[in-house]
Amino acid sequence: MGCIICGNEEILISKNLGVCYNCIIKEEPKAIERSMILRRKDRNKYNLPLKPPHESNGVTCNWCQNNCKVLNNISFCGLVKNKNGKLKRFAGSRYGLLKWYYDPLPTNCVADWVCPAGSECGYPKYSVSQGPEYGYYNLAVFYCSCTFDCLFCQNYQYKQYLNLKQELISFKELASKVNDKVICICYFGGDPSSQAIHSILTSKYAIKEAKKNNRILRICWETNGSSNPKIIEKMAEIAIESGGIIKFDLKCFNENLNKVLCGVSNKQTYQNFKFLGEKFDERPEVPLIIASTLLVPGYIDIEEVDKISKFIANINPNIPYRLLGFYPHHLLNDLPRTSLSHSQRCLKIAKKNGLKNVSIGNIHLLSKLSYENPTKF
């Protein structure tokens, strides 16, 4: 089966999606339409709107870039509705919809090679040991909502929890899970963007308690970066103070590709990344931010990595960048795993563009089988 727009049968595409990278980049309206057809059934299954609502006479939520204007519908993240002309949040501020667990350190973190938990950086101010922090734990907080809707989502089960609207947990109760062996908190999901206030309140309370006992407690976020800039600024203040890292998923560079693969724009992500990237040298002991990109075969190859890495290098070439292996999942489950050669050429182009700290993650997922399309690089 070839691309339903151009008919090309010699390039790798997802049969589920049916459109190729080149046609998406050319801003073909059919590519957007096709992606909507693919995700409609999934969004309906979980009672989520297909697009961020912008209803006339609705009330605007400004917590993230989607700026949902809600009247009769619910927000794109599924947490906000209009009640008597005012926004009512099911979760996200004092109470969070989430799952949490203790993750032994050093853990499989996207930033593990530059994080105090798994490397030598940050000791003794932000780390308990000069090397991997064996014997300690990360409080892993999985938020059950998201401001994107990625066709390749690796944690799409968050929608099940979101749909069930299970019991909420207050920020104080979550902070109380930090015991003497917990030395970092990492918020991920889903994505923390739609519940960022809850993560900020939790962090402030937990840090206050840790200081009473003179204990290290780093605060990290793994996010698509779509939060309101004022919220991002608060997150940065907490991360800088505690020795934590904000890990940005730079999924695509091209905005149209992001709309097709992730459902919404990525403009705010790049604006927020630039804002924090310019603060990178304020804390040299531990990187304030890192970037990561999932190498989705046929769609996220060196054309995208070339542009992403140039963007990062122009801000600060010392910002760490991790290239992640893809595993067939969710609505793009018909694609192959990322190949070793795919990741290696992306690594090469990122370094060529001036980035000084690039690594390949999820190496165990990489395939040795070749599927690559012809490329000009």
Beta bridge partners of 138: 103, 184
User: Does 300 map to a domain?
Assistant: yes
Q: 19 and 138: one domain? A: no
**Residue 62 within a domain:** no
Residue 23 shares a structural domain with residue 162: no
In angstroms, the CA 377 to CA 375 distance is 6
The answer to whether the beta carbons of residues 141 and 174 sit under 8 Å apart is: yes
Domain final residue, candidates 229, 263, 287: 287
Indicate if 119 and 231 belong to the same structural domain: yes
Do 9 and 133 reside in the same domain of the chain? no
276 in any annotated domain: yes
> Within a 13 Å sphere around the CA of 313, how many CA atoms are in the beta-carbon half?
16
Of 263, 252, 251, 224, nearest to 34 by C-alpha is 263
- For residue 376, the model assigns a pLDDT of 40
Return the residue matching tokens 């990595």: 305
Cis peptide before 320 (omega within 30 of 0): no
Q: Say if 50 falls within a structural domain.
A: no
- What CATH number does residue 184 fall under? 3.20.20.70
Whether 216 maps to a domain, the answer reads yes
User: What string of pLDDT tens digits covers the 377 residues of the chain?
Assistant: 789 999 999 899 999 999 999 999 997 889 999 999 999 999 999 999 999 999 999 999 999 999 999 999 999 999 999 999 999 999 999 999 999 999 999 988 999 999 999 998 999 999 999 999 999 999 999 999 999 999 999 999 999 999 888 789 999 999 999 999 999 999 999 999 999 999 999 999 999 999 999 999 999 999 999 999 999 999 999 999 999 999 999 999 999 999 999 999 999 999 999 999 999 999 999 999 999 999 999 999 999 999 999 999 999 999 999 999 999 989 999 999 999 999 999 999 999 999 999 999 988 889 876 555 444 43
* 174 close to 98: Cβ distance less than 8 angstroms: yes
Tell me whether residue 298 is exposed, middle or buried, using C-beta atoms within 10 angstroms of its C-beta: 0 to 12, 13 to 18, 19 or more. buried
> 151 with 239, same domain?
yes
Q: Report the C-alpha gap between 31 and 33 in whole angstroms.
A: 5
Q: Is residue 352 part of a domain?
A: yes
Same domain, residue pair 3 and 118: no
**Residue 72 falls within a domain, yes or no?**
no
How many domains, the chain? 3
**pLDDT attached to residue 374:** 41
Please calculate the CA angle 99-187-113 and round it to the nearest 5 degrees. Answer: 125
Residues 232 and 99 in one domain: yes
Identify the CA nearest to 250 among candidates 302, 221, 292: 292
Instruction: Indicate if 242 and 207 belong to the same structural domain.
Output: yes
Q: What pLDDT digit, counting tens, does each position of 93-123 carry?
A: 999 999 999 999 998 899 999 999 999 899 9
**Beta sheet of 358-361, edge-to-edge order:** 98-104, 137-143, 182-189, 218-223, 246-249, 289-295, 321-325, 358-361
For residue 345, is it within any domain?
Answer: yes
- Report the DSSP beta bridge partners of residue 293: 323
Residue 44: count other Cβ atoms within 10 Å of its Cβ: 11
Same domain, 343 and 209: no
141 and 193 in a single domain? The answer is yes
The whole-angstrom separation of Cα 289 and Cα 279 is 9
**Which pLDDT score, from 0 to 100, does residue 199 have?**
98
Tokens of 290: 């890192």
Q: Same structural domain for residues 214 and 358?
A: no
Q: Which domain holds residue 343?
A: 296-319+333-377
What was the pLDDT predicted at 375?
43
pTM summary value: 0.95
Among positive and negative, which fits the CA dihedral 153, 274, 286, 317? positive
CA 152 to chain centre: 12
Answer yes or no: do 225 and 282 share one domain: yes
Q: Determine the pLDDT at residue 369.
A: 66
